[in-house]
A = this chain, B = another copy of it.
Amino acid sequence: MRASNWLVLEKKIKFGDCDSAGVMHFHNLLRWAHESWEESIEIYGINLKEIFPSIKQNTKKIFPIINCEANFLYPIEFADKLEIKILPKKINNHLFEVKTTFFKNKKLVAKAKLIHCVLDIVDRKKVDLPESLELWIEASNINRKIEYC
């Protein structure tokens, strides 16, 4: 299985994503960063409904973001096609980060980083990462090393 299966995605910029300055409105990048790792874990094989919280499901854990950051290097414009690369990392037992880099014609145009905390849905105390997420992080990192060999 190639890394691109779950670590390299594509995104086309829509009209409604852009503002009157003619470029993508900045906070959309963070939305895309979140949507990208959802997409990534689904392609990897995780059932999204099993790990994300919902009023109907009996999920046990939530993953609130405690920090997010984005850098914008070159303008991203309407109808641009971006290549999105994802790199998750475990920080400790209850923290993980997801780095996302955005490329336009092979040039890095923007990057984002989300740091998630893993909490119990009821008492909001810190708990361990779900095993499925651990596996996705490990597989992603192994994959990345292979890519560079």
Contacts and interface: CB of A to CB of B under 8 A. Distances in A.
Interface residues on A, range: 35 or more
A113 to B, nearest CB: 9
A67 interface: yes
Nearest to A69: B69
A60 interface: no
| Copies held by the complex | 4
A78 B79 CA distance: 23
A22 interface: yes
B55 A31 contact: no
Given A12-B39, A15-B20, A16-B25, 19 more contacts: A14-B38, A15-B34, A15-B52, A18-B54, A20-B55, A22-B53, A22-B56, A26-B34, A27-B30, A27-B31, A27-B34, A52-B79, A53-B55, A54-B78, A55-B121, A66-B71, A66-B73, A67-B72, A68-B69
Interface of A: 12, 14-16, 18-23, 25-28, 30-31, 34-35, 38-39, 42, 47-49, 52-56, 62, 64-73, 75, 77-79, 114, 121, 124
